[in-house]
Structure 1
Amino acid sequence: MHFISTGSGSPVLLIHGLFGDLDNLKSLGALLEQNHQVIRVDCPNHGQSEHWPQMDYPGLANALVSLLDELAIDKVHLVGHSMGGKIAMATALAYPQRVQSLTAADIAPVAYSPRHETVFAGLSSMPLDIKDRRQALAHLLNHEIDEATAQFLLKSLRRSESGFEWKMNLPGLIASYPAIIGWHNGSERCGGQLSYHGPTLMIRGSESNYVTAAYKEEIVAQFPKVKAKTLEGCGHWLHAQKPAIFNRIVSEFIDSND
């Protein structure tokens, strides 16, 4: 798993969401590295990490713990956004002894209905012999993908000998999508437990529908010590829409549980 490590002190591991890479939480990392070792990862099938034909949360949790072993890290503060939040939650449930604290940004430990069909259609149909990024942007906009999302997706487009290519493993993500939107933490596979009793923070955007009151019972059952925060005036991309307050809340939570 490709990663970048900066700073020193008690370790924090930052995990991006679907279609992202290790730069997504870079501004949070810049704040945390003043007092912590910060490890930002490219999840499998993203960025510069290896391509997996299939991925699920038990396998991703195992991969994170293997990275901790490689870095000789015993316990870590986990922070994840969206899919990355689910990876963090699965890791805390499967390996609670390795997790100092858990922060999940705008995601719940539940199964969701499909919501990325338009994005997958736009990515899959992209003609990779396009001449420049303007053509790539126009293609995504023509598939009814909003410009902010399109610009985010294009961060994973890079030049190749024949034109352009995706850094992400698109076939692997499509094959894994049911597992990504689903929720099977796999704790029983790893000798883990059904609930994580360590410090837990869940942050949601007020305009997002990813974390709602309907999920409260499932959240508390799995993370009984959870504290909830709502960032007003932002949606699912809360770390990008309100970075200063998001970064401060996460940093203060980590420091209070160090």
Structure 2
Amino acid sequence: MTTDMDEMRVSSDSVVPHEFSGAHGNRLNASIYRGGAKPVLFFHGGGQTRHAWDNAARAVQAAGYTAIAVDLRGHGDSEWVADQRYAFDDYAADIDAVARKVQETFGGQRPVSVGASLGGISSLVAQYEAGQSLLSALILVDVTPRMRRDGVDRILGFMSDRMQDGFGSLQEAADTIAAYLPNRGRPKSLDGLSKNLRLGEDGRYRWHWDPAFISGPHPVNSGKLRSDEYRFAATRALTIPTLLVRGRQSELVSEEHAEEFLELVPHARLTDVSGAGHMVAGDRNDIFLQAIMEFLDGLGAG
């Protein structure tokens, strides 16, 4: 049996499965891409899984870092929490627990966090609640404290539309996604899609996340982050190196929102990714990887 240190730091080309304990003792599954001494955490967006980061994590690993991609609570292989607490506050608390464990394992070294949407804003809040002592740097992927309400509603509408009934096949799910994202090319294989779906006993495929994330008593849009004042306070407080990666065709983060973010965090950098919407890493992974690798290199070698 390997120790935490062995799993996270031994140099290898392999990907190691790992389990973290969340803020409330909830199990969080992760993949550790073992590499160098500098840890980089990856937190996906709502409705996704840690596998959304496979390509990015491998690239970061190859560059000499240890990449750690985590399934957020209620997503992927992580535990569906019994009390159905899925507010941003709860995700931030889990990120705090993971980051502190990683910091302990890496000799007190604070990790970098790469967070898309849900994972990004939760990382920002975790850093705020920790008094800026949790992370060494932050990469926000298409998320800012102010977002387009119509874009948020469209995404939540798509996620909730089939969350109970599911799909009769992977192909049916692929067709539904293609209709929602007509500008994205269809994948040649459905293998990646299968990681985002669960096959039920009734033979139908459903999204790989707990429906209570949207429809439960403590859904994602509840908690302190409903307050504009709180979100802006957390953003203004950022002191660590920060990169905002925005999809130029984003349905959530407008150009004005990005400019507002830079006014709130004057030391932050912005990369606008042409040809990408909200799902930046999936739409233009090449440009996304270039942006985050240049940012990480600027922090010093891992």
- Same fold, judged at TM 0.5 (above): yes
Structure 2 counterpart of 1:89: 124
Q: Does 1:62 align with 2:93?
A: yes
The TM-score with structure 1 as length reference comes to 0.82
Deviations, residues 234-255 of structure 1 (Å, cap 9, x unaligned) = 2222212221221121011012
Which of 288, 296, 302 aligns to 1:246? It is 288
Correspondence for 1:119: 158
Larger RCO, structures 1/2 (Cα 8 Å, 6+ apart): 1
Counterpart mapping for 1:3-152 below 5 A: 3-6=30-33, 7-34=35-62, 35-52=64-81, 53-71=84-102, 72=104, 73=106, 74=108, 75-95=110-130, 96-110=132-146, 112-113=148-149, 114-127=153-166, 130=168, 132-137=169-174, 140=176, 145-146=180-181
CA gap 1:141/1:251 in 2 versus in 1, 3 angstroms: closer
SS in 1 for 2:40: strand
Structure 2 distance, partners of 1:202, 1:108, is 8
Give the Cα–Cα distance (whole angstroms) in 1 for the partners of residues 185 and 74 of structure 2.
19
Q: 1:233 aligns with which of 268, 275, 280?
A: 275
Q: In the TM superposition, what is the alpha-carbon distance from 1:124 to its structure 2 partner? A: 3.1
Q: Residue 109 of structure 1 aligns to a residue in which SS?
A: coil
The 1:119/1:213 distance shift into structure 2, 3 A limit, reads closer
The two structures, once aligned, show a CA RMSD in angstroms of 3.2
Say if 2:88 and 2:221, in contact at 8 Å, map to a contact too. Answer: no
| Map of 1:2 onto structure 2 | 29
Equivalent residue in structure 1 for 2:211, among 137, 155, 170: 170
The CA deviation at 1:156 is 2.3
1:12 offset after TM fit, Å?
Answer: 0.3
Q: CA deviation at 1:134?
A: 3.3
CA drift of 1:84 comes to: 1.6
Partner-residue secondary structure (3-state), 2:39: strand
1:161 partnered with 2:201: yes
| Change beyond 3 A, Cα 1:77–1:161 | same
Q: State the SS of the aligned residue for 1:49.
A: coil
Displacement after TM superposition at 1:41 (Å): 0.4
Q: Aligned letter for 2:144?
A: A
**Which has the higher mean CA deviation after the structures are superposed, 36-45 or 163-172?**
163-172
The aligned length equals: 250
Query: 8 Å contact 1:93–1:187 — kept in the other structure?
Result: no
Q: 1:87 to 1:37 in 2, by over 3 A?
A: same
- CA distance in 2 between partners of 1:84 and 1:141 (Å): 21
Unaligned runs of 5+ in 1: none
- TM-score relative to the length of structure 2: 0.71
Tell me, which stretches of 5 or more residues in structure 2 are unaligned? 1-27
User: Structure 2 vs 1, CA of residues 134 and 206 (structure 1 numbering), >3 Å: closer, same or farther?
Assistant: closer
Cα gap change, 1:27/1:186 in structure 2, threshold over 3 Å: closer, same or farther? Answer: farther
User: Does the CA-based 8 Å contact 2:87-2:221 persist in structure 1?
Assistant: no
Tell me the SS of whatever aligns to 1:116. Answer: helix
Residue 88 of structure 2 aligns to which amino acid in structure 1?
Answer: Y
Q: Distance in 1 between matches of 2:160 and 2:276?
A: 26
